[in-house]
Amino acid sequence: MGRDHRAKKKSFLELIRGFPGILNEYLVPIGVAIFSGVAVAWLVSNFVEPVREVLVERQLVNVLLFLLVVNTLLYLDRLARQLGVAGLRGIVRVSPDQGSDTPAMVAAVEALAPGTARFVEFSGYTVLDLITEVLRRGWDVELLVKHPESVGHIQRNTVLMVLQRLELLTTVDIPGSKDRLHVKCYRANASLRGRKLGDKLVNLGWYTPTFLRDQEGNPLEVLGHANPLITARVDAPEGRCFGRMFDRVFQELWEDPSTVDWQEVLKKLGSKRRKAKQ
């Protein structure tokens, strides 16, 4: 009994802690419901006297209007925070690593109208969540990752896993998104990592050499996700030069003769990886 009681108490506390998040997620439908309630109540009160008395004398309509105002203010506050996080004030954001930067980029995707999102990555593993959200929100994606044959054993398996995950993502998890995903694998040396959301935001980092090895002694080759990132508006002075640099690097890699389509890579190497796992 004591254990069941503690479990129920813990569950209740978790529900209370999660309430602000739930409220934030459903602000729009809650606002629509309150507005509809006010409109219907006002309409009915013009024809049904008892309803009119309840609304006016007990001030129920004032309560509904108050809730509507609060809901609207909360929504505007969330929108303002999203726009601020998205860098739409022209302020450059510096993040210490990919993990701390991803939530801000997801907020940017939510705040901006869908367009074309471009990515320059090594394996793409640490930005899978961001790519997923971009596709889910209706964006077109142009993604560059390293060719598996141009990297070591560990990174080769990671790149192939990411390509297979993206194929599953666009065919099963987000049906109909395959036509919006364009992926190429480049062989040139990796130096710049980043992504650009339409003509609004640019988010840049760098790949740096590392002597770190995994538990089996295999070299990791480069570090990217642990390095700082810079985010800025493309049309602002702080971000214009970064936007030009990203466009140049992306275009050169995308059009390089040694860069190939991901389906060609999957056809050649993906089946070998599946057989090796079996």
Q: How many CA atoms lie within 13 A of 34 on its CB side?
A: 19
Do residues 76 and 114 share a domain?
A: no
- d(Cα 102, Cα 85) in Å, to the nearest integer? 11
Q: Does residue 88 sit in helix, strand or coil?
A: coil
Q: Look at residues 66, 84, 102 and tell me which one is the last residue of a structural domain.
A: 84
Q: How many CA atoms lie within 13 A of 140 on its CB side?
A: 7
pLDDT in tens, 239-270: 889 999 999 999 999 999 999 999 999 998 86
Q: What range does the domain containing 11 cover?
A: 2-84
CATH number at residue 271: 3.30.870.10
Q: Look at residues 68, 84, 100 and tell me which one is the last residue of a structural domain.
A: 84
pLDDT in tens, 107-124: 999 889 999 999 999 999
Choose among 192, 208, 177: nearest CA to 243.
Answer: 192
Mean pLDDT value of segment 150-179: 92
Question: Residue 88 — very low, low, confident or very high, per pLDDT cuts 50/70/90?
Answer: very low
Q: How many domains does the chain have?
A: 2
- d(Cα 208, Cα 227) in Å, to the nearest integer? 8
Mean pLDDT of the chain: 80
Do residues 20 and 138 share a domain?
A: no
- d(Cα 275, Cα 11) in Å, to the nearest integer? 44
Do residues 97 and 232 share a domain?
A: yes
Q: Look at residues 31, 57, 84 and tell me which one is the last residue of a structural domain.
A: 84
Is the per-residue pLDDT at 2 higher than 70? no
Do residues 197 and 79 share a domain?
A: no
Do residues 207 and 109 share a domain?
A: yes
Do residues 196 and 112 share a domain?
A: yes
